[in-house]
């Protein structure tokens, strides 16, 4: 296993921590400067930004779990408080975590329980393909269920309403499902 893989594994195992560059460089057995350059060259992100992205990615999985409140997720992932977590989440995902939680609960009433669901803020096929690949890697659904895939696109409005459904609209895009299936079945 190379040093970057050991850092990735370390981040995954310690999601409740706030990481420093020195700490991650020590795990890789490299100087902080060399580690930072190598990490960014290999993965495209600084080590600290990568750790943050990984935490946000994990929070998206936890948000789907009904038993977890957003405040609990912030605590589990080592954020000082809900507000810090919410700001970081919103800066990366563009939607507040509490809004995502609300929308997922609402969408669960509209979707077919036997079909996998991908939720995205983009209709870009590359972005959607990344989400599908990630779901397949995490074993969220099986490849054989790809033809049943439901793609839901979220569109934020400029409205400043307190109601989530007025600020964020959603639509199920069957044409995107067909395009994704064509990509995978080639």
Q: Is the confidence at residue 58, as pLDDT, over 80?
A: yes
CA nearest 13: which of 64, 69, 78, 66? 78
The string of pLDDT tens digits covering residues 144-165 is 888 888 898 888 777 777 888 7
Return all residues near 165 (Cβ < 8 A) that are at least 6 apart.
106
The string of pLDDT tens digits covering residues 106-137 is 887 888 878 888 888 888 888 888 888 888 88
pTM (two decimals): 0.75
92 — phi, psi (to 5°)?
Answer: -95, -35
Domains of the chain, start order: 1-93 (1.10.10.60), 110-186 (no CATH)
Confidence at residue 72, expressed as pLDDT on a 0 to 100 scale: 93
Q: How many residues does the chain have?
A: 186
In angstroms, the Cα distances linking 82 to 69, 74, 145 are 10, 6, 36
Query: Which H helix or E strand runs over 23?
Result: helix 21-28
* Neighbour tally for 31: CB within 10 Å: 12
């Amino acid at each position: 296993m190379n040093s970057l893989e050991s850092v990735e594994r370390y981040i995954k195992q310690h999601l409740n921590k706030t990481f420093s560059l020195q700490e991650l460089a020590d795990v890789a057995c490299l100087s902080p400067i060399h580690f930072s350059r190598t990490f960014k060259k290999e993965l495209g992100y600084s080590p600290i930004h990568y750790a943050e992205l990984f935490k946000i990615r994990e929070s998206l999985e936890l948000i789907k779990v009904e038993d977890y409140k957003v405040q609990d997720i912030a605590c589990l992932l080592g954020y000082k408080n809900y507000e810090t977590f919410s700001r970081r989440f919103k800066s990366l995902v563009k939607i507040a975590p509490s809004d995502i939680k609300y929308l997922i609960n609402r969408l669960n009433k509209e979707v077919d329980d036997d079909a996998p669901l991908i939720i995205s803020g983009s209709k870009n096929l590359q972005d959607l393909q990344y989400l599908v690949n990630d779901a397949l890697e995490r074993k969220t659904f099986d490849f054989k269920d790809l033809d049943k895939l439901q793609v839901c696109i979220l569109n934020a409005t400029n409205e400043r309403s307190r109601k989530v459904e007025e600020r964020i609209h959603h639509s199920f895009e069957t044409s995107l499902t067909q395009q994704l299936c064509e990509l995978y079945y080639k």
